Chain A
Amino acid sequence: MRKIVKKWFWVWEFDKEEQWLNEMAAKGLALVGVGFCRYEFEECVPGEYQVRLELLENQLQHAESQQYIRFLEETGVEQVGNYFRWVYFRKKTADGPFDLYSDLESRIKHLKRIIALVLPISGANLCIGFSNVGNAVRTGIGLANVGYLNLALGLLGCFGAWKLSKKRKRLEAEAQIFE
Chain B
Amino acid sequence: MPNPALTEAVYYILLSLQEPLHGYGIIQNVDKLSGGRVRLAAGTLYGALNTLLDKGWIRALENEADSRKKEYRITEAGLDVLKAEVRRLRELLENGMRILGEEER
- Chain A residues with a Cβ under 8 A of chain B: 54, 68, 70-72, 74-77, 96-97, 99-103, 105-106, 109, 179
Name the interface size band of chain B: 10 to 19
Question: Which residues from 33 to 90 on chain B have a C-beta closer than 8 Å to any C-beta of chain A?
Answer: 38-47, 68-69
Cβ–Cβ < 8 Å partners of B45 in chain A: 102
Cβ–Cβ < 8 Å partners of B22 in chain A: 74
- How many whole Å from A18's CB to the nearest CB in chain B? 14
What's the Cα separation between A103 and B23 when bound, in Å? 17
Cβ–Cβ < 8 Å partners of B27 in chain A: 75
What's the Cα separation between A179 and B39 when bound, in Å? 13
Which single member of A77, A97, A106 contacts B39 (CB below 8 Å)? A97
Q: Are B46 and A71 in contact (CB under 8 A)?
A: yes
What's the Cα separation between A99 and B9 when bound, in Å? 15
Q: Are B42 and A75 in contact (CB under 8 A)?
A: yes
Q: Are A71 and B44 in contact (CB under 8 A)?
A: no
Q: Are A100 and B39 in contact (CB under 8 A)?
A: no
Q: Are A179 and B7 in contact (CB under 8 A)?
A: yes
The proximity string for B residues 3-24 relative to A, scoring 1 for CB distances below 8 Å and 0 otherwise, is: 0000111000000000000111
- Chain B residues with a Cβ under 8 A of chain A: 7-9, 22-24, 27, 38-47, 68-69
What's the Cα separation between A118 and B45 when bound, in Å? 26
- How many whole Å from B89's CB to the nearest CB in chain A? 14
What's the Cα separation between A70 and B42 when bound, in Å? 11
* A74-B23 in contact given A102-B9, A103-B7 (Cβ < 8 Å): yes
Cβ–Cβ < 8 Å partners of A71 in chain B: 23, 42, 46
Q: Are B39 and A54 in contact (CB under 8 A)?
A: no
Task: List 5 A-B residue pairs with CB atoms under 8 Å apart, sorted by A's residue number.
Answer: A72-B42, A74-B24, A100-B41, A101-B41, A105-B7
What's the Cα separation between A71 and B50 when bound, in Å? 12
Cβ–Cβ < 8 Å partners of B42 in chain A: 71-72, 75, 77, 100
Cβ–Cβ < 8 Å partners of B68 in chain A: 70
Cβ–Cβ < 8 Å partners of A106 in chain B: 41, 43-44, 47
Name the residue of chain A whose CB is nearest to the CB of B26: A75
Cβ–Cβ < 8 Å partners of B24 in chain A: 74-76
What's the Cα separation between A159 and B100 when bound, in Å? 48
Cβ–Cβ < 8 Å partners of A74 in chain B: 22-24, 69
Cβ–Cβ < 8 Å partners of B69 in chain A: 74
Which single member of B8, B9, B40, B43 contacts A54 (CB below 8 Å)? B43
Closest 10 CB pairs of A and B: A100-B43, A102-B41, A99-B41, A106-B44, A75-B42, A102-B44, A75-B24, A101-B44, A72-B42, A74-B24
What's the Cα separation between A67 and B79 when bound, in Å? 27
Cβ–Cβ < 8 Å partners of A75 in chain B: 23-24, 27, 42
